[in-house]
Chains A and B, each alone.
Chain A
Amino acid sequence: DTGVSQNPRHKITKRGQNVTFRCDPISEHNRLYWYRQTLGQGPEFLTYFQNEAQLEKSRLLSDRFSAERPKGSFSTLEIQRTEQGDSAMYLCASSLGSRIPRINEQYFGPGTRLTVT
């Protein structure tokens, strides 16, 4: 499968615990995005990497959230001291940064569903 992959697909954790999610983008894509989606809503942007550099962060990304993309390949999203409000689907997307607009199309992974109890 050459699409975007995410692990784990589901995570149940207790409030206050730390969790980490992983995203593997399409191999030649240099741009990687994290979004959060709650039930009945569209995805909301969290952060964006170009290669290994984190270039944009949403105001939604509180101090408890941190994302990395070492070596410009896979990315991790960590949530510290989870809260019930963090329960959501966390989506990763990647795109091939280019001046040709179509190639900037974002391809989404299957998501990680987080439930904080």
Chain B
Amino acid sequence: ELKVEQNPLFLSMQEGKNYTIYCNYSTTSDRLYWYRQDPGKSLESLFVLLSNGAVKQEGRLMASLDTKARLSTLHITAAVHDLSATYFCAVDPTSGSARQLTFGSGTQLTVLP
């Protein structure tokens, strides 16, 4: 059974600081997704990482994938309040097509002024 573990589960950080969220998974996969969820809202797609060494950046967020280590990271640079949300990584263990996703438990990020 595929397991996806995120840490930390809760993260409180000051504006302007940097931090990294980690996502470990237990089976072979070359496809990993990061989503953002605001309270009471649905999931918004942030990044799709499709191969070993993939790196994607958008604004203050940068995601990377190391398939050999079965590890993805989401790095936050110079955090701002608007980044406060819950971030999920999700793994698609099925090669060739995206079917069911297995999600981590999420990292609840709070950016303090």
Residues A105 and B33 in contact, CB atoms below 8 Å apart = yes
**How many interface residues does B have (CB within 8 Å)?**
24
Question: How many A residues have CB within 8 A of the partner chain?
Answer: 27
The SS class assigned to the A binding surface is mixed
Which one of B33, B100, B106 lies within 8 Å of A48 (CB-CB)? Answer: B100
Most chain B C-beta atoms within 10 Å of own C-beta, residue among A56, A101, A105: A101
Partner of A42, one of B31, B90, B96, B98: B90
A56 contact from B42, B88, B90, B99, Cβ within 8 A:
B99
Query: Which residues does B use to contact A, with CB under 8 Å?
Result: 4, 31, 33, 35, 41-45, 48, 50, 88, 90, 96-106
Residue from B41, B43, B45 within 8 A of A43 (CB atoms): B43
A45 to B35, CA, bound (A): 15
- Neighbouring A residues of B45 by C-beta, 8 Å: 105-107
